[in-house]
Amino acid sequence: MKIERVVTGYLEENCYILTMNKESLVIDPGDDYDLINEKLKDTKVLAVLLTHSHFDHVGALNDVVSNYNIKVYSANNLEEKEYKFHNFIFKVIDTPGHSSDSVTFYFEKEKVMFTGDFLFKGNIGRCDLPTGSWSSMQNSLKKIKEYPSDITIYPGHGDKTTLMEEENNNQYLFTN
């Protein structure tokens, strides 16, 4: 699976385009439709996955959905279980805290997670925004520590990391 990061908008949100066999999933289509669309031109777009619904993660959502005539999958219509979209197989993990609708997408075979604003390199998402909750965040952090430490984390902002690096260096994970 090819993973391409497209940094969008003034908050530098990470949109991810996952491609396999000329088919793509879009995760969190931020704020620059033209840039995202350019990266999708040679693939069949299957769906959009949303880690949460904050404005910086959905700025180009309507354009992507209408241009490719695809569905959006998020905490609103996904359960915490495994899904298969053509060749893409992933698990949905409920990870509220930054927002009540925060989910993480875990592609076990590829050993990658897309955490949105739940978990960053060296930090976690804010819990003081509407529907945010520190106690929910603590429960989500405990849950994520149950996964293998060699997983690569692709966050909603900033650089990728690994779960092991975060367990060793992120004060919120190693103290939880």
Q: List the CATH number of the domain containing 142.
A: 3.60.15.10
**pLDDT at position 147:** 97
Count other C-beta atoms under 10 Å from residue 149's C-beta: 12
- pLDDT tens-digit readout, 159-174: 999 999 999 999 998 6
H/E stretch holding 52 reads none
**pLDDT at position 173:** 84
In the chain (176 residues long), the average pLDDT of successive 10-residue segments reads 96 97 97 95 96 95 96 96 96 97 98 97 95 96 95 98 95 76
Distance CA 8, CA 32 (A): 6
**pLDDT at position 126:** 95
Instruction: Specify the number of domains making up the chain.
Output: 1
